[in-house]
Amino acid sequence: MHRCARALRTLVAGGWVAVLGAAQTAQAAEQAITRPSLVAVESISAVDTVWLMTATVLVLLMTLPGIALFYAGMVRRKNVLNTMASVVAIACLVSILWFALGYSLAFTPGNAWIGGDSRAWFSGLDFNAAKGLVAVSHLAPHVPEAAYAMFQLAFAVITAALLVGAWVERMRFGAMLIFVGLWSLLVYAPVAHWVWEPGGWLARMGALDFAGGTVVHVNAGVAGLVCAWFLRPRRGYGHEPFEPYNLALTMMGAALLWMGWFGFNAGSSLAGDSRAALALAVTHIAASAGALAWSLAEYVVRGKATLLGLCSGLVGGLVAITPAAGFVTPLSALCIGLIAGVACYWGATGLKRLLGADDSLDVFGVHGVGGIVGSLLTGVFASPQIGGVQGSVLTQAVSVLAVALFTLVATAVLLWLLDMLIGLRVDEESELQGLDLALHRERLSG
């Protein structure tokens, strides 16, 4: 009897120890996923790490050379090198600022509005081979934090580079770099925190943005529109033809964007898994549908389909599927691409005339409009069977409106301050001569 009692007490005590141990383990695990931390190297998934690094390279290719070629082919010959130089310089500047401060502000716990400073000034991203420890983000604890930070860097770079299309042929090079540097820290980083960090207020609200519909495209599109308004039209805009330098370059850039977008969307699964595979497929479907829909609209309105229209349409389809890629079926992707192709065609033509802005390369018409359409349609088409969440058009609309208003005001304030302090626009002589010679003392040969 006494033996049975002792055995029972031992069993109960052991049970409580097990329960308490499990609770402590669960608590430790919960703490581990709420902030960046060090984990054993053995806990890292090699497959997911390789895929995320591959996706990072694909997204960086979207900027260099994708955006550089896409934009350079559409400007006038005398501004081709300046356009390319702007994209390259922005990529370098944003990369340094990202590891200095931007990544920490965007992707570490802080409050509902902004992250903390635990990864500021090139700290974090630790790897200790002797102790077998590596830093991971709470957002991707199965891959090294260095890989995750680099992947998110690629998004910050392309978002800033997209802005170039709104001010080509008329903005001072040095002023442009100061503006972009400040914008990436004061506008992009907070918006990324709102939407993608679990403590961000839009994330808590349940806003869905798989790969950057609001963070990248609405953000860049609205900022581009403000820049175009503030800098005023190029001299001769609307009165003389602005012949694009080489649409073959634009097509090559569009092709690189298309291929790189697989890393953009499928990479946002953060794992080499079934969701990534589906995101890749729906991305391709939406891009194809967007190109065909734009061309059909162009043919109906103007009687001809163009190469530039095909390229613009496929980008519009890619933009619109971006927030939805991890939440929708292939048939939904087809619908999103078709709607976006027509909407972005109107954004780059009729809406552009209504707004009266010289948004030179249609940053708002394609990225802004496409991002808005895609974000709202994510609320319509999101499938709980795929993403595990129910979409809400109202929540998506609040997210779009919040990001658009914040970006509009913050961008306008930055432009006003910099214009007062240093001036933003080149002088008339430099604009007429072309920025290649005026700003860089270089020009295309031949």
Give 388's DSSP letter: S
Question: 13-17, 63-67, 245-249: lowest mean pLDDT where?
Answer: 13-17
Q: What is the pLDDT of residues 201-221, one digit of tens each?
A: 999 999 999 999 999 999 999
> Residue 40: enclosing H or E segment and its boundaries?
strand 37-40
- In the structure encoding, which two tokens stand for residue 249, read together? 């370059």
> Residue 128: enclosing H or E segment and its boundaries?
strand 127-128
**364 neighbors 163 (Cβ within 8 angstroms):** no
Residue type, 192: A
Question: 2-16, 213-227, 287-301, 324-338: lowest mean pLDDT where?
Answer: 2-16
**205 neighbors 398 (Cβ within 8 angstroms):** yes
Class of domain 44-438: mainly alpha
Q: What is the pLDDT of residues 142-166, one digit of tens each?
A: 999 999 999 999 999 999 999 999 9
- Tell me the three state secondary structure of residue 243: coil
Write the CB contacts of 258 (distance below 8 Å, at least 6 apart in sequence): 287, 314, 318
Q: What is the pLDDT of residues 373-417, one digit of tens each?
A: 999 999 999 999 999 999 999 999 999 999 999 999 999 999 999
Q: Would you tell me how many other CB atoms lie within 10 Å of the CB of residue 299?
A: 13
Q: What is the pLDDT of residues 106-121, one digit of tens each?
A: 999 999 999 999 888 9
Residue positions counted in the chain: 446
Q: Which residues pair with 171 in a beta bridge?
A: 425
% pLDDT > 90, the chain: 87
DSSP string, 129-178: TTTTEEEEBTTBTTS-HHHHHHHHHHHHHHHHHHTHHHHTTTB-HHHHHH
Which pLDDT value is given to residue 419? 97
Residue type, 313: G
The sign of the torsion formed by the CA atoms of 302, 304, 305, 307 equals negative
Q: What are the extents of the domains in the chain?
A: 44-438
Q: What is the pLDDT of residues 359-376, one digit of tens each?
A: 999 999 999 999 999 999
Which pLDDT value is given to residue 35? 76
Q: What is the pLDDT of residues 306-338, one digit of tens each?
A: 999 999 999 999 999 999 999 999 999 999 999
In angstroms, what CA-CA distances link 181 with 62, 343, 367, 424? 20, 31, 21, 14
Q: How far apart are CA 204 and CA 365, in angstroms?
A: 30
Q: How far apart are CA 151 and CA 95, in angstroms?
A: 11
